[in-house]
Amino acid sequence: MKYFARKFGMLIFTLLISMTINFFLPRLMPGDPAKALMDRMEGVDAEKLDSVRAAFGLDTQDSLPVQYGKYLLNTVRGDLGISLSRFPMPVSTVLASALPWTIGLMGLCTIFGFAIGTLLGIWAAWRRQRKLASFTVGFFSFIRSFPYFWLGLCLIYAFAFKLRLFPLGGAFSIDQARGSAGWWLSVLRYGTLPAFTITLSSLGAWMLMMRNNMINVLAEEYITLAVAKGLPAKRIKRVYAARNAILPSVTGFAMSFGFIVGGGLITEMVFAYPGMGYMLYQAVNAKDYPLMQAIFLIIAGSVLVANFIADIVIMFLDPRVRDGAK
Amino acid sequence: MADTTLLEIDHLKAGYATKAGFVRAVDDVSLSLRRGEFLGIAGESGCGKSTLAYAIMRLLRDSARIESGRILLEGTDLAGLDEADMNGYRWTKLSMVFQSAMNALNPVLSIEEQLVDAVLAHRSIPRAAARDLAMEMLELVDINADRFSSFPHQLSGGMRQRIMIAMALLLRPDLLIMDEPTTALDVVVQRSILQKIQELRQRLGFSVIFITHDLSLLVEISDSLAIMYAGKVCEYGPSRELYGAPAHPYTKGLMNSFPSLTGPLGRMSGIEGQAPGLIDPPPGCRFAPRCALAEPRCLSGDPVLAELSPGRACACVRCGGSL
Amino acid sequence: MIKDFLKTLVENRKSLAGLIMLGVLIFIALFAPLLAPYPPKADRTERTALIEETVGDQETLSEERLSDDVEKSTYVVATSRKWEKTVNYFPLRAKPSSAHLLGTNHAGNDLLSQLIAGTRISVFVGLATGLFVTLVSLTLALLSGYLGGVFDDIINFFTNVFLVIPGLPLMIVIGTYIPMHGVLPIILILAFTSWPYPTRLLRSQVLSLKNRDFVMASRMLGERTSFIVFREILPNMISIVMSEFFAVSLSAILAEATLEFIGVGNITVVSWGTILYWAQANGAILMGAWWWFLPPGLMIALTGTAFVLVNFGIDEISNPRLRKR
Ligand SMILES: Nc1ncnc2c1ncn2[C@@H]1O[C@H](COP(=O)(O)OP(=O)(O)O)[C@@H](O)[C@H]1O
Ligand SMILES: [Mg+2]
């Protein structure tokens, strides 16, 4: 339980740090983006200017700590300010439309990528003497050095532009009634290429990590003992090698997940997929600072929570962690 | 028990393929072991003892392999078996205790799981029966039943090693190979483990190959001894005779490095120098460069084991070994 | 130690291939202006040719008598030249041709020249970030491992905190706020988000080396800290430090391209990322202009592969288990 408490404390603290970064960023920036923005908006209605001021903390006489306190309180309550590009919609309303798309796309892809990548990694380590295994490892290492968005561009070019198998972008067909069977089918069709992009590029990372862990584990003495005991190869592979090799993968989730989510955001931008990533893209280009920051906060929050879950999973998988012996 | 041969190792060569060349860690070793016999194998670390043990269990993997020779267990050549057939022999006929129980036990599986799966791999019995068998065995090594569901990191070093022994004896093998089973333990625990082994041996009647770099451990318990140096057996024979009159200069050196019981506690005299590399070792006796008694002829050829008396052999020109 | 390391690196087939690729890229980056057919931002060629020249068709003779016996004459020969300036505008959005091997972009810039010039920025940003982050992480790791105590706790804690905050969204947000002049801001942003991972890795390496026998012995003997750190700890960290350097450089190149692609960053600079930005902004895909968006991505991928290959080699050197045999 000490472990749980420690990890939970860490979660709360990292969330707090993310919020703090978010609070200070606009107030610390050189070149005064608020002023630049307001200059640009010369002549716009006063109401909009007010919300810009609010976003940069220029509308109050409060001292910084008081502002900070209010900001934390508002954020926790889900009040993320007013969007500038879709004035006067609250940021939270804008985000609500994007969130399901991202959760659907990224959630599925992360699970697929992790599952397939891990299985491939186990295979590649177990059969590492084989040509096909080293070829696969080489292939995915190569894919991994592609920029995500470029892989997306290439897939669009090949499968959407040239072969016309999939749409060029978007998430669903506008010809179908929302919620109808045809609409759901179109969601699948529109989602295929972005999902493929994210899965293909994240899969490699999981695979290489699992392969290296597995090779390290296979050299452990407890594997030798398992062989000496005359256990069937399948059982050694699954219960002794893979079971132990996956532990660092779950721990490594911390680093990789944030990375994959980043890649997923970019993929959404390339495919104009109406999730958080594409919205971030629009916010960046419209200099919609409140929206942009809210997106950062939500993404950071989900990554942190996912990490926390990984920490808890590890607790169930590894008795040493449970006892605080590791 | 009848005086029958259980294991016969015949001109075994084994080692590791490395970038620099083939490390022949076991070089032309021949040994034999009777049923119920306790054979001690001693030698400095790096002389190929573990490689020999691994070769017998057929555990050499990746770059390691058996080059040539036979390992006859009751007439079957283990070296020639395929993996599936070998699995039939492992743990049922011969089993092994590793040096570090901490490393050899899977850290994330419970003791129960690790004991039971050894049984279930070889016997088609219900899980509950396998559990009972495992419990029974744990009792024999004085481990309380409430430790059954523990994980390795929750146990002491001595307990872990006793569990390893229980695991190795689960299926009542004929041969137990122990590779430095007590090296990682402190002296008191070491004693109790050795006593336990003797006690179990009397009860269950298995043969033991006991590997150690510390010859003094074997004084009281082994029936016969093989001394290894740089991949080769340099002296071999019944323990008592070997202790009484060591023939090979290396054996004498090892015995001199015993801690003296009467003298002051301190560093033992030991043997100067280092063993040669095992990739293309120079011709001549491998011990010659460190041997106080070396003569010019020692450098010209490698002496083979020469029989001194029945069951006693030495590989040194001074005890009549030919080159 | 460093020599040994380099020797093994060159002996390893993978890392040798990676080093060669890296060498070629650095060569292109250094000699970009000489290698590129046109300046990266040129949209025309200008040629001035002499089309007519007349010499001596006018003659002036002036005479002057200074005294009785001195007479001075001046001859003037006039030359007239006619020049013609030809301005050859590059076609816009042209397909590959012999004049423009990779075609041109929306502004008529030669894409091959941009690709070559972009090598400079991309490779420079990658390596500079790699170097900067590696130095910072190494310093933090050594301080943390060596000073220990509260200092170590603090560094370790913040490393773990920043490790899990997702880097790319943070980079995008900061990048949107900061005015982008030159490439320094982007290097700083990349560095700010990529220090935690190498710091954590290097710190644990320092801690484990610190407890090795030979370091313990030196400490017992009362060796100076600087001796222990620079002569005993650092030499044993070469492979991990190098591998982190390459890993950070790789992710910096990828992240830079990503930021530029989405328009965060200085889009007036010519780099692989900005070529892709303009390609996307001008609908290169819908034009089927593969020559516009394919090459920059391939260059990034090749650079990445070079780093990955070198690191494969380093991994195999430092972790013998990963070796094939
Ligand atoms: N995986 C390996 N690759 C190459 N050489 C090895 C390997 N394992 C052991 N050796 C070498 O084989 C020799 C014998 O090792 P080992 O059998 O472990 O000796 P011992 O058990 O007597 O200490 C040593 O010289 C060692 O360096
Ligand atoms: Mg050994």
Would you say C318 and C240 are in contact if contact means Cβ atoms under 8 Å apart? Answer: yes
Give pLDDT, residue C60.
61
Give pLDDT, residue A145.
80
Residue C62 has pLDDT above 70, yes or no: no
The more confidently predicted of residues C3 and C175 is C175
Residue B260 has pLDDT above 60, yes or no: no
Residue C281 has pLDDT above 60, yes or no: yes
Least confident among A156-160, A206-210, B263-267, C307-311: B263-267
Residue B323 has pLDDT above 90, yes or no: no
B186-219 pLDDT, tens digit each? 888 888 889 999 999 999 999 999 999 888 888 8
Give pLDDT, residue B284.
84
Give pLDDT, residue A126.
92
Residue pairs between chains A and C whose CB atoms are closer than 8 Å:
156
Give pLDDT, residue B321.
55
CA B46 to ligand 1 center in whole angstroms: 5
Give pLDDT, residue B1.
46
CA B15 to ligand 1 center in whole angstroms: 8
Segment B72-76 shows an average pLDDT of 91
Residue A287 has pLDDT above 60, yes or no: yes
Confidence of residue A170 (pLDDT cuts 50, 70, 90): confident
Between residues 234 and 253 of chain A, which touch chain B (CB distance below 8 Å)? 235, 239-240, 243-244, 247
C56 lies in some domain = no
A228:B105 CB<8 A:
no
Residue nearest (by alpha carbon) to ligand 1 atom 4: B16
Q: Assess A126–B contact: CB distance below 8 Å, yes or no.
A: no
What is the best residue among B13, B18, B22, B23 to mutate for testing ligand 1's pocket, by most ligand atoms within 8 Å of CB? B23
Least confident among A264-268, B316-320, C310-314: B316-320
Residue nearest (by alpha carbon) to ligand 1 atom 1: B16
Residue B261 has pLDDT above 60, yes or no: no
Give pLDDT, residue A43.
64
Give pLDDT, residue B266.
41
Least confident among A181-190, A201-210, B273-282, C243-252: B273-282
The more confidently predicted of residues A269 and B275 is A269
Q: For chain B, how many residues are written? A: 323
How far is residue C204's CA from residue C194's CA, in Å, rounded to a whole number? 17
Nearest to A222 among B83, B86, B103 (CB): B103
C284 lies in some domain = yes
Closest by CA position to C190, among listed C140, C138, C251: C251
Residue B170 has pLDDT above 60, yes or no: yes
Query: Virtual CA dihedral for A264, A267, A273, A277, nearest 10 degrees?
Result: 50
C26 lies in some domain = yes
C112 lies in some domain = no
A70-85 pLDDT, tens digit each? 888 888 888 888 888 8
% of chain B surpassing 90 pLDDT: 55
Report which bound ligand comes closest to the CA of C325. Answer: 1
Report which bound ligand comes closest to the CA of B48. Answer: 1
Give pLDDT, residue C146.
80
Residues in chain C closer than 8 A to A266 (CB atoms): 168, 258, 261-262
Give pLDDT, residue A16.
93
Count structural domains, chain C. Answer: 1
Segment C42-47 shows an average pLDDT of 80
Between residues 194 and 253 of chain C, which touch chain A (CB distance below 8 Å)? 197, 250
Give pLDDT, residue C323.
58
Residue C105 has pLDDT above 90, yes or no: no
C151 lies in some domain = yes
B96-114 pLDDT, tens digit each? 999 888 899 999 999 999 9
Summary mean pLDDT of chain B: 88
Nearest to C321 among A21, A129, A219 (CB): A219
Residue C163 lies in domain = 2-36+121-322
What is the best residue among B26, B47, B229 to mutate for testing ligand 1's pocket, by most ligand atoms within 8 Å of CB? B47
C251 lies in some domain = yes
Residue C57 has pLDDT above 70, yes or no: no
Touching partners of A (3+ C-beta pairs < 8 Å): B, C
Residues in chain C closer than 8 A to B62 (CB atoms): 325
Give pLDDT, residue C196.
92
DSSP for residue C95: P
Residue with tokens 């002996």: C11
The more confidently predicted of residues A97 and B1 is A97
Least confident among A264-278, B297-311, C245-259: B297-311
Q: Assess A212–C contact: CB distance below 8 Å, yes or no.
A: yes
Report which bound ligand comes closest to the CA of B45. Answer: 1
Residue burial C259-274, b: 16+ Cβ < 10 Å; e: rest: bbbbbbbbbebbbbbb
Tokens of C197: 């991972």
B121:A230 CB<8 A:
yes
% of chain B surpassing 70 pLDDT: 93
C177-202 pLDDT, tens digit each? 887 778 898 999 999 999 999 999 99
Give pLDDT, residue A30.
65
Segment C59-77 shows an average pLDDT of 70
How far is residue B105's CA from residue B296's CA, in Å, rounded to a whole number? 50
How far is residue C255's CA from residue C125's CA, in Å, rounded to a whole number? 10
What residues have CB less than 8 Å from A199, skipping those under 6 apart? A109, A112, A113, A116
Residue in chain A nearest C250 by alpha carbon: A145
Rg (chain A; Cα; Å): 24
Segment A131-158 shows an average pLDDT of 88
The more confidently predicted of residues C256 and B283 is C256
Q: Assess C161–A contact: CB distance below 8 Å, yes or no.
A: yes
C207-221 pLDDT, tens digit each? 888 888 888 888 888
ipTM: 0.90
Pairing relationship of beta strands B312-314 and C71-89 according to DSSP bridges: unpaired
Task: Report the gap between the CA of A180 and the closest CA in chain C (Å).
Answer: 30
Residue B248 has pLDDT above 60, yes or no: yes
Residue in chain C nearest A286 by alpha carbon: C176
Q: Assess C154–A contact: CB distance below 8 Å, yes or no.
A: no
Pairing relationship of beta strands B312-314 and B21-34 according to DSSP bridges: unpaired
Q: Which amino acid is at B62?
A: D
The more confidently predicted of residues A107 and A227 is A227
Residue C321 has pLDDT above 70, yes or no: no
C217 lies in some domain = yes
Residue A281 has pLDDT above 50, yes or no: yes
Residue A50 has pLDDT above 80, yes or no: no
Segment B5-15 shows an average pLDDT of 93
A235:B121 CB<8 A:
yes
Residue C58 has pLDDT above 70, yes or no: no
Ligand 1 nearest-atom number relative to CA B228: 22
CA C131 to ligand 2 center in whole angstroms: 43
Give pLDDT, residue C43.
81
Residue pairs between chains A and B whose CB atoms are closer than 8 Å:
83
3-state secondary structure chain B: CCCCEEEEEEEEEEEEEECCEEEEEEEEEEEEEECCCEEEEECCCCCCHHHHHHHHHCCCCCCEEEEEEEEEECCEEHHHCCHHHHHHHECCCEEEECCCHHHHCCCCCCHHHHHHHHHHHHCCCCHHHHHHHHHHHHHHCCCCHHHCCCCHHHCCHHHHHHHHHHHHHCCCCCEEEEECCCCCCCHHHHHHHHHHHHHHHHHHCCEEEEEECCHHHHCCCCCEEEEEECCEEEEEEEHHHHHHCCCCHHHHHHHHCCCCCCCCCCCCCCCCCCCCCCCCCCCCCCCHHHCCCCCHHHHCCCCCCEEEECCEEECCHHHCCCC
Please give the angle made by the CA atoms of B118, B121 and B126, to the nearest 5 degrees.
Answer: 95
Give pLDDT, residue A44.
66
Q: Assess A254–B contact: CB distance below 8 Å, yes or no.
A: no
Domains identified in chain A and CATH numbers: 2-76 (no CATH), 96-323 (1.10.3720.10)
B98:A225 CB<8 A:
yes
C116 lies in some domain = no
Give pLDDT, residue C320.
66
Residue in chain C nearest B19 by alpha carbon: C325
Give pLDDT, residue A201.
83
Residue in chain A nearest C290 by alpha carbon: A157
Q: Ligand 1 — pocket residues by CB below 6 A?
A: B 16, 18, 23, 25, 43, 45-51, 63, 278
Strand order in the sheet with B306-309: B94-97, B175-179, B207-212, B38-42, B224-229, B232-238, B312-314, B306-309
Confidence of residue B263 (pLDDT cuts 50, 70, 90): very low
To the nearest 10 degrees (0 to 180), the angle between helices C196-210 and C111-147 is: 40
Would you say A38 and A49 are in contact if contact means Cβ atoms under 8 Å apart? Answer: yes
Residue C325 has pLDDT above 70, yes or no: no
Cis amide linkage into residue A88, ω under 30° from 0: yes
Residue A55 has pLDDT above 80, yes or no: no
How far is residue C127's CA from residue C119's CA, in Å, rounded to a whole number? 12
Tell me the CATH number at C301. 1.10.3720.10
To the nearest 10 degrees (0 to 180), the angle between helices C13-30 and C2-11 is: 100
Residues in chain B closer than 8 A to C325 (CB atoms): 17-18, 62-63
C135-168 pLDDT, tens digit each? 999 999 999 888 888 999 999 988 988 888 888 9
